[in-house]
Amino acid sequence: MRRPVAVAGAAAALLVALTGCSLGTADAVPGAVRVPTGPAVTPLPIPEVEPSGSAAAVTDPFRRAADGTALPVLERTPGAVFADVTQADLCGPRYSAGVRGERASDAEEAAAAYGVEDSSPYTTDHLVPISLGGSNEVSNLWPQPKEGAFAAAAKDTLEAHLRGLVCQGAVPLETARQALVQDWRAAYDTYTARPLATPSPTAAPTGGDGGVVSGGVCATDGEVVRSPEKQVRLTCRPDAEGVLRWQRRA
């Protein structure tokens, strides 16, 4: 009755001979290149929040603010930042332009985590925005509704305003990040009410109609106008130093 064991042993020996390696030993594959690691990414700790007691929470894919605004579920989207990015980096010229956008597969994975099959009513949002050092990790992405009083556009306004406050030294970077993670809707009310410092209008470019020109100082974050001379669409946004200026972007 030992014949099957002997046959199995012979087969194993033949396999070792043919492969030229011993069992339990794996030589490096010639030509294999180790994939280089990117910048260090730090997942943010999940803050404690009050659980929702409503029956709708069973099927609702989102956490909800006091007024019903959609918030990401922190167990799925706790946020993640580049650990080596400083305030000085963020407030330098064109920092955000140097950070590669998220991969389509990561956006799809983030949507799937929320049970979203039709992505058309949503936009892939960075919970901690790139402009505040947020990374493109799936743990920092969530499908945010596009429509509603406090949807994607409102969060974009908050992010730009927060960056201005951070760059002016009015709000610590970590405080701004945690406010977005905890409840960005509450953060909107708290921080957009805090005005950004503006220099004297004489220190900025002026146009033919009260300084409504690209680069001119403006007063209301998010306001959109058209320049009187060239009819160019300008938006009032904080610049790299956190100063509100007319800029040619939405």
**Ordered per-residue pLDDT tens for the chain, 250 residues:** 445 444 444 444 444 444 444 444 445 444 444 444 556 666 676 666 555 444 444 588 999 999 999 999 999 999 999 999 999 988 887 787 778 788 999 999 999 999 998 989 999 999 999 999 999 999 999 999 999 889 999 999 999 999 999 999 999 999 999 999 999 999 999 999 999 886 544 444 444 445 577 778 777 767 788 776 667 788 887 776 677 778 876 4
- Helix, strand counts (H, E) of the chain: 5, 9
In degrees, rounded to 5, the angle at the alpha carbon of residue 210 between the alpha carbons of residues 168 and 241 is 15
The answer to whether residues 169 and 135 belong to one domain is yes
Q: So what's the pLDDT on residue 47?
A: 61
- DSSP codes, 171-202: S-HHHHHHHHHHHHHHHHHHHTTSPPP---GG
Q: So what's the pLDDT on residue 63?
A: 95
The answer to whether residues 72 and 162 belong to one domain is yes
Collect all residues with Cβ–Cβ distance below 8 Å to 27 and sequence separation of at least 6: 21
The answer to whether residues 61 and 184 belong to one domain is yes
Q: So what's the pLDDT on residue 241?
A: 65
The answer to whether residues 152 and 224 belong to one domain is no
DSSP 14: H
Q: So what's the pLDDT on residue 166?
A: 93
The answer to whether residues 129 and 205 belong to one domain is no
| Domain end position, chosen among 143, 160, 191 | 191
Burial class (CB in 10 A: 0-12, 13-18, 19+), 88: exposed
The answer to whether residues 115 and 174 belong to one domain is yes
Overall number of domains in the chain: 2
The answer to whether residues 89 and 166 belong to one domain is yes
Q: So what's the pLDDT on residue 222?
A: 73
The answer to whether residues 71 and 175 belong to one domain is yes
DSSP 167: H
The answer to whether residues 80 and 182 belong to one domain is yes
Q: So what's the pLDDT on residue 226?
A: 78
Is residue 221 assigned to a domain? yes
Q: Domain range holding 232?
A: 196-250
Q: What's the half-sphere exposure (Cβ side, CA atoms, 13 Å) at 38?
A: 10
Is residue 61 assigned to a domain? yes
The answer to whether residues 64 and 137 belong to one domain is yes
The answer to whether residues 186 and 63 belong to one domain is yes
Is residue 7 assigned to a domain? no
Is residue 30 assigned to a domain? no
Write out the H or E segment, with its range, that includes residue 17: helix 3-19
CA distance 91 to 41: 19
The answer to whether residues 62 and 186 belong to one domain is yes
Is residue 159 assigned to a domain? yes
